[in-house]
Chains A and B, each alone.
Chain A
Amino acid sequence: RKEVEQDPGPFNVPEGATVAFNCTYSNSASQSFFWYRQDCRKEPKLLMSVYSSGNEDGRFTAQLNRASQYISLLIRDSKLSDSATYLCVARRTGNQFYFGTGTSLTVIP
């Protein structure tokens, strides 16, 4: 079983839509979590950290459910520029990071 699993999509949504991605992690020892964004042929870039109490950054909301071992990312009022692959990441003690394979989002005009 993979350490971090995501629905690969693709998600195709119209501009202005709200879209949610979920991610599950298998190791309860995972300590911290992140969402990264990766544009085509570019490196992954940190979108936001995920805190236990949930956190929001503009149109983006991240939530963590430790009991169910899943992380979510909600994007409101989708923009064309949000089109990318979104990677879910779990960090364990020992500084090892585990990446999901990514969820592809295309926002359609």
Chain B
Amino acid sequence: GAGVSQSPSNKVTEKGKDVELRCDPISGHTALYWYRQSLGQGLEFLIYFQGNSAPDKSGLPSDRFSAERTGGSVSTLTIQRTQQEDSAVYLCASSLVGDSNQPQHFGDGTRLSIL
């Protein structure tokens, strides 16, 4: 099935390195969301893309975090100069727009570990 696809599944890197996480949403879903979830915690909203509109970046925790969505489909979340507190699962979700009864669909997430 063509669900939300995220890569890599796991990423281990050293503190101070940059990382790039990828999300491929469900075909036809123009809304794309990034969340972060630390162990035992709830979802933390990071950023939201909707079509060609300016993204809602209100959840990005610092200027080390940025995201792009090229061509209205695939998105990449970049974390520069990673810190240990960046360790978490990064979840991407997509949804249809135009029908408020549509839910979000999540990818499997990228488990990021900063050493």
Binding site for B on A (CB under 8 A): 31-32, 34, 36, 41-46, 49, 87, 89, 91, 93, 95-97, 99-102
Main secondary structure of the interface of A (DSSP, over half): strand
In the complex, residue of chain A having the shortest beta-carbon distance to the beta carbon of B100: A31
Question: If A95-B48, A101-B42, A102-B42 touch, does A44 touch B106 (CB 8 Å cutoff)?
Answer: yes
Please classify how large the interface on chain B is, using the bins under 10, 10 to 19, 20 to 34, 35 or more. Answer: 20 to 34
Contact indicator per residue, chain B 95-110, by CB within 8 Å of chain A (1) or not (0):
1010011011111110
What are 15 A-B pairs at a CB distance below 8 A?
A34-B103, A36-B103, A42-B108, A43-B107, A46-B104, A49-B101, A49-B103, A87-B43, A91-B100, A95-B31, A95-B50, A96-B48, A97-B95, A97-B104, A102-B42
Binding site for A on B (CB under 8 A): 31, 33, 41-43, 45, 48, 50, 56, 89, 91, 93, 95, 97, 100-101, 103-109
Q: Are A93 and B100 in contact (CB under 8 A)?
A: yes
CA distance A104 to B110 in the complex (A): 23
* Residues of chain B lying within 8 A (CB to CB) of residue A44: 43, 91, 106
